[in-house]
Amino acid sequence: MSEPVTFTTHGDIAVVTIDYPPVNALSLTVRQGIDDAVGRLNQDVALKAAVLICAGRTFIAGADITEFGKPPVDPITPDLMLTIARSQKPIIAALHGTVLGGGFETALACHYRIAHPGTRVGFPEVTLGLLPGAGGTQLLPRLAGIPVALDLITSGRQVKVRSELGRQLVDEVVDTESHDALLDAALNAGRRLIDSGAAIRRLADVVLEQDTQYASLFAQWRDRMAKKKRGQLAVQYGIDSIENAVQLPFDQAIIEERRLFQACRESSQSRAMRHAFFAERRCAKIEDVNESAQPRSVEQVAVIGAGLMGVGIAICFANAGIPVVLLELDQTKVDAGLDKIRSNYERQVSRGRMEEAELARRCDLVAGTTEYSALADVDLVVEAAFESLDVKTIIFTELDAVCKPDAILASNTSYLDIDQIAQVTRRPEQVVGMHFFSPAHIMKLLEVVRAADTSDEVLLTIVALGKRLQKIPVTVRVCYGFAGNRIYARYGAEAQNLLLEGATPDQVDSAFRDWGMAMGPLQVVDLTGLEIGYKARKHQPNLPDDPTYFALSTVFVEEGRIGQKSGAGFYRYEDGQRLVDDGAITLIRETAARLGIEQRKFSADEICRRLVSAIVDEGRAVLAEGIVQRASDIDVIWLNGYGFPRYRGGPMWYAEEEGL
Ligand code: HSC
């Protein structure tokens, strides 16, 4: 038997333990080990049942994603699932941690499922551009019905076994988190199954009833997903495969599931999404830090500024269970900030997403103050005040005076030079950027800005803290706008160039939305307000000496068209509706004529190529200057901060694949 899987016996029950860190993925050696174990169980007349359990932090978290680019090697996972399901002796899956993808399929192939209370199950394949390919689309409908299968397989969401839905997905939940208690309970379940003499329950044997409603149900889901998960092959194939569960005999539907899985696995979409998965893990690794440097613990923090960002950042800390004190200039602002935090949690309670007790616990973690002296003992301060170097200089001088010597001072600036900010303190090695994206408590991206003097220890601390806050931390170096906003500015400028050259705002936005972006570039600037960039450019160092550079923003702002909040920008807004506006188009034409730019027609394809090329070109510059460590970090930033379609892998991956 291969090493990651061990086989022991407890009387007449075998215990098959998988111990294959970090997440017990179904790699070849694990598959071989399980295959051998099921063979041994069925050959040994003294054995009557088996428990399949995992060591470490989780039950099997899925197939080994690193194997998907390589030719499959026997025993392949779908065959292994059939081997488990067809075992002549019952196999009890003892679950803990995150039971995902092929892990959940393993559990469904087993004949009884018992779980720790904190266990979560799900099919995240869709986030990798895949569908469950080892029986999941056939077994889940048989266990929990078609609507549940459609929900879980198209969303990829994880379900807590203790929830109402979760209780349908397992047979039993034990009441402690101890490994020994889980094993004991699984052995007891095995004993009961043996003693009852009942026939083995196999989900594959369940015959799904035909229902006249199914045709319209599947049509509705296809329609809904075509809008919600635009262009995503795996989602539609997942629905097709679930439909096969009611239309084809099990064996045939399994063959069809495998065919659909393979088509997805070989698609550019899945390659891109697998790249995104590993890029999001790689970005937290910093290549040139001293090996002896270790992250410090952060137990108390402060946030300066109770505006939109400050409040969002404070919520992030409270969500992670870290006490946070919010500092503002006067008590009215402090109270307004605390009220916003409470209302955020109240909304979650009213939507049934949070218990009242949890609301109270999180609100208790947040305090307010107007006194800098209240920050004397915190381990970290995140400044989220007004975006002005003068303001930040004053704040950092004050913080340096009151905070304990080893406190880390971070700025949430989106553009400003953190090196300059660090220099006003006596501890530049403890100064770092933490650039959150708005809304800070929702967006996953965190740019960790490594200033010239930031120590390795401080950098590692902030990256580790970012993960604790459930963010994706990407380390960047100092430049105007860092990696994300600097590239975004280039992209925004290119969108406006397209307008000057003859495309309309609606053409540009529709083309790029259809290509997969969450929002079009002009729609975004109308939403955030054109005056923000207009004011920022007044202080921007090294502004290009080019009269066309954001010329339209300048004209629009000076005409009072600052976007949605003024009722007009690149579009007109009436009753909450965004409308194409002739006034905007006339203004664009006049500006182009004044700048001597000839207008022409654009195809959607050319618009997309121009926009992507601008992003990629600036991305190359950012990489060449060492602002990011690796090209894939830019992908992570664009996927998680700017709505780049995940199934295109990020701009740098896309460029590599397309050969731009
Ligand atoms: C699947 O299961 C397909 C099946 O339906 C069918 C297969 C059929 C095949 C047919 C063939 C003919 N593989 O995230 P973390 C690594 S698709 C390989 O930081 P956490 C990860 O890269 C799969 N490696 O930890 C990292 O490595 P590093 C469905 C995997 O505690 C390390 O583990 N399952 C891996 O924050 C730690 O990861 C999923 O999509 C995998 N499956 O979160 C689950 N999973 O240290 C994907 C992780 O070198 N995984 N690694 O950087 C996760 O969502 C998270 O990792 C967990 C843990 C929630 C499990």
CA of 54 to the centre of ligand 1 (A): 15
Residue 111 has pLDDT above 90, yes or no: yes
Quick one: average pLDDT of 49-55?
98
Measured CA to CA, the distance from residue 652 to residue 414 in angstroms comes to 22
Atom of ligand 1 nearest to the CA of 132: 5
Report the pLDDT value the prediction gives residue 69, as an integer from 0 to 100.
86
- Best CA proximity match to 121, nearest among 142, 95, 100: 100
Token pair in block for residue 512: 């790029």
Nearest atom, ligand 1, residue 277 CA: 22
Mean pLDDT of 455-459: 98
- Which residue puts its alpha carbon closest to atom 60 of ligand 1? 61
What is the reported pLDDT for 2?
A: 46
Of ligand 1's listed atoms, the one at least distance from the Cα of 127 is 40
Region 424-443: mean pLDDT is 97
Structure-token match 């950098």, residue found: 459
CA of 644 to the centre of ligand 1 (A): 22
Whether the predicted pLDDT of 297 surpasses 80: yes
Q: Does pLDDT of 1 surpass 60?
A: no
Closest CA to 253 of 85, 145, 137, 110: 137
Q: Which whole number is the average pLDDT over 4-31?
A: 97
Q: How far is the CA of 519 from the centre of ligand 1 (A)?
A: 29
Dump pLDDT digits (tens) for 219-259: 999 999 999 998 899 999 999 999 999 999 999 999 999 99
Omega cis (within 30) before 323:
no
User: What separation in Å is there between the alpha carbon of 516 and the centre of ligand 1?
Assistant: 25
- The residue nearest atom 33 of ligand 1, judged by CA position, is 22
| pLDDT, position 660 | 61
Mutation probe of ligand 1 site: the residue of 20, 23, 28 with most atoms within 8 A of C-beta? 23
Identify the helix (H) or strand (E) that includes residue 153. helix 146-155
Q: Whose CA is nearest to atom 8 of ligand 1?
A: 133
Q: Which atom number of ligand 1 is nearest to the Cα of residue 284?
A: 52
Distance 23 CA to ligand 1 centre (A): 7
**Nearest C-alpha to atom 51 of ligand 1 is from which residue?**
23
Residue 292, pLDDT score: 95
- Which of 31, 60, 65, 265 has most ligand 1 atoms within 8 Å of its beta carbon, as the pocket-test mutant? 65
Task: Ligand 1, residue 102: give the atom nearest the CA.
Answer: 2
Nearest protein Cα to ligand 1, atom 34: 62
Q: Could you tell me the distance, in angstroms and rounded to a whole number, from the CA of residue 42 to the centre of ligand 1?
A: 30
d(CA 584, CA 526) in angstroms, rounded, equals: 12
Cα–ligand 1 centroid distance for 30 (angstroms): 14
Pocket lining for ligand 1, CB < 6 angstroms:
22-23, 25, 58, 61-66, 72, 76-78, 98, 100-102, 105, 124-125, 128, 130, 132-134, 136, 261, 278, 281
pLDDT the model gives residue 212: 84
Ligand 1 atom at shortest distance from the alpha carbon of 124: 40
Which atom of ligand 1 lies at the shortest distance from residue 262's CA? 12
pLDDT at 539 over 90: no
Residue nearest to atom 39 of ligand 1 (CA): 62
Alpha helices, H only, 61-116: 77-85, 102-109
Task: Give pTM, 2 decimals.
Answer: 0.95
Q: Are 509 and 496 in contact (CB under 8 A)?
A: no
> For residue 131, which atom of ligand 1 is closest to its CA?
5
**Residue 620, C-beta contacts closer than 8 angstroms, at least 6 positions apart:** none
Phi-psi category of residue 354: left, alpha or beta, with phi > 0 → left and psi -120 to 50 → alpha: beta
- Kindly report the protein residue whose alpha carbon is nearest to atom 48 of ligand 1: 23
Index of the ligand 1 atom closest to the CA of residue 105: 5
Residue 467 alpha carbon, nearest atom of ligand 1:
36
pLDDT tens-digit map of 573-618: 999 899 999 999 999 999 999 999 999 999 999 999 999 999 999 9
Q: What value does the mean pLDDT take over residues 407-426?
A: 96
The backbone torsions φ and ψ at residue 15, rounded to the nearest 5 degrees and listed phi first, read -120, 115
Q: Render the burial of 391-417: b for 16+ CB within 10 Å, e for the rest.
A: ebbebbeebbebbeeebbbbbbbbbbb
Distance CA 307, CA 291 (A): 38
Among 329, 295, 659, which Cα is nearest to 465's? 295
Query: What is the 574 CA–ligand 1 centroid distance (Å)?
Result: 47
- Ligand 1: centre distance to CA 22 (Å): 9
Q: Which amino acid is at 276?
A: A
Rounded to the nearest angstrom, the distance between the alpha carbon of 143 and the centre of ligand 1 is 24
Shortest-distance Cα residue to atom 4 of ligand 1: 102
Is residue 26 within 8 Å of residue 68, measured between CB atoms? Answer: no
- Average per-residue pLDDT for the chain: 96
Atom of ligand 1 nearest to the CA of 65: 13
Q: What is the pLDDT of residue 538?
A: 86
Q: How far is the CA of 61 from the centre of ligand 1 (A)?
A: 6
> How far away, in angstroms, is 101 Cα from ligand 1 center?
9
DSSP secondary structure code for residue 63 in this structure: B
Q: Is 98 helix (H, G, I), strand (E, B) or coil?
A: strand
Q: What is the pLDDT of residues 262-273, one digit of tens each?
A: 999 999 999 999
Give the distance (Å) from ligand 1 centre to CA of residue 63: 7
What's the chain's Rg over C-alpha atoms?
28
Tokens, residue 460: 């590692």
DSSP 376: T
pLDDT digits (tens, 9 = 90+) for 490-521: 999 999 999 999 999 999 999 999 999 999 99
* 524 vs 388: CA distance, rounded Å: 23
Provide the token pair at 175. 């009441």
- What is residue 8's three-state secondary structure? strand
The answer to whether 114 and 179 have CB atoms below 8 angstroms apart is: no
Give the nearest ligand 1 atom to 282 CA: 52
Distance in Å, CA 116 to ligand 1 centroid: 20
19 Cα–ligand 1 center, Å: 15
CA–centroid distance, 26 to ligand 1, in Å, is 10
Q: How many helices (H) and strands (E) does the chain have?
A: 26, 19
CA 173 to mean position of chain CA atoms: 28
